[in-house]
Structure 1
Amino acid sequence: MKLRIGGLLGALSLGAVAVLGSGSAAQAQQADAELKRLKCPNWQFCLYEHDNYRGSSARILLKNVPNLAASDYRFDNKASSMSNNTGYSVTLYQYKNYGGARYVARKQSEDKDLTNNRFDNKASSVRFKF
């Protein structure tokens, strides 16, 4: 009888660990999402230096930027992830003055790694579609 109770308690504790473990992963994902929202406020388009919304950032408040190198942002060819918290689509261009290859960020979208879209460290200008 003692062996059976011990086995039952062991199974219950393993189940509790599994439930708690999955809760922790969900909480971590929720915390990451909240951190990203805090980093890129509503109505701003944000570029991040590194994947997963990390590193330095450029927060662009509803204005076109024809040259990220010459602007206050100084973010030319540095973007590795982005968050679009605006109600507009935003196009990143490979060259200044809206030239070259393009990457379109839909409204209210995010991309934690621009590498898979072949646009990592390539953005040189930004245009909103108002």
Structure 2
Amino acid sequence: MRKSRTRRTLAALGTTTAAMGIAFSGLMTGTAQAAIGDCPSNRFCLWQHSDYSGRGVPFTGRANAPAGFNDAASSVYNNTNTTWCIFSDANYGGSHRTIGPGGRSRDLANQGFNDVTSSARPC
């Protein structure tokens, strides 16, 4: 009985989280060579440093950058089949860059967007 109640509670939390639009799904870490492979399927991932190194953040849907990651992204990988946009301001405002399905940038400085991202969402 207790296990089924726990499962129902966890399922309800998952549904509530999805309904609220909370899309940040944890942190990733890894070396430059391995980090891009750490971006799970159907996730949009940002990394703290160029070459997919440092702390990584996977997204499943629209979200502001999590605490401590605002204006900190230096590389990106779109491991989804949807075009995503990254924005310079919270709540999808300011200037933006578009990253197509499977798109990546090992150094956002090349697009003039290093340490600028404050929010991301599918376009």
TM norm structure 1: 0.66
- State the Cα distance separating 1:38 from its structure 2 match: 2.6
* Residue in structure 2 matched with residue 97 of structure 1 by the alignment: 91
RMSD: 1.7
How far has the Cα of 1:48 moved from its partner? 0.3
Aligned equivalents of 1:36, 1:106: Cα separation in 2: 19
> Which consecutive residues of structure 2, in runs of 5 or more, have no partner in the other structure?
1-32
- Once the two structures are TM-superposed, the CA of residue 37 in structure 1 deviates from its matched residue by 4.4
Stretches of 4+ aligned residues off by more than 2 angstroms? 35-38
Q: How many residues align?
A: 92
Measured in 2, the distance between the counterparts of 1:109 and 1:36 equals 15
CA distance in 2, matches of 1:113, 1:38: 16
Q: Which residue of 1 aligns with 2:50?
A: 51
Of Structure 1 and Structure 2, which has the larger fraction of its residues in helix? 1
Q: Deviations over 1:67-112 (max 9, x none)?
A: 21xx4x6421010000110000100010011111111111111100
Identity among equivalent pairs (%) = 30
- How does the TM-score come out when normalised to structure 2? 0.69
2:87–2:94 Cα contact (<8 Å) kept: yes
**Secondary structure, aligned partner of 2:37:** helix
1:80 to 74, 85, 88: 74
2:116 is equivalent to residue 122 of structure 1 = yes
Please state whether the residue corresponding to 1:57 is helix, strand or coil: strand
Cα distance in 2 for residues equivalent to 1:37 and 1:125: 20
Which structure is larger by alpha-carbon Rg, 1 or 2?
A: 1
